[in-house]
Amino acid sequence: MAYKLIWSPAARDDLHDIVVFIARDNPNRAMSFGYELISETDRLEEFPESGRSVPEYRDDNIRGSFFTQIAWYIGSITSEKSVKLRAFGIQREDYRNCR
């Protein structure tokens, strides 16, 4: 049974901020990179336990994964057969690698 993917407001804001940041240098790549991140997180519906547990949270239901060498996301598995996408991040000093 597939899980439902729920985007938190913070995750939506993070994704927007990443796209805006990359768009300063390359607007076309910013949009395509944003869509790639969305596509990558869609797989959480079928594979909610993908990624690794995030040690800082000390909860095996909170999982994180790198999308590329510079972009990551954190999601949490809930008891309602859903995965809540909590946050996105990017290592800004290396963002040019996403081109």
CB atoms within 10 A of CB 9: 7
* Residue 73 and residue 88 in contact, taking contact as beta carbons nearer than 8 Å: yes
Please list the ranges in the chain whose pLDDT falls under 50: 95, 97-99
User: What pLDDT, on the 0 to 100 scale, is given for residue 98?
Assistant: 47
User: What pLDDT, on the 0 to 100 scale, is given for residue 10?
Assistant: 92
Give dist(CA 94, CA 33) in Å, integer.
14
Q: What is the dihedral of CA 3, 9, 14, 20, to 10 degrees?
A: 120
User: What pLDDT, on the 0 to 100 scale, is given for residue 54?
Assistant: 84
User: What pLDDT, on the 0 to 100 scale, is given for residue 1?
Assistant: 61
Give dist(CA 32, CA 99) in Å, integer.
10
User: What pLDDT, on the 0 to 100 scale, is given for residue 24?
Assistant: 93
- Domain 4-92 carries which CATH code? 3.30.2310.20
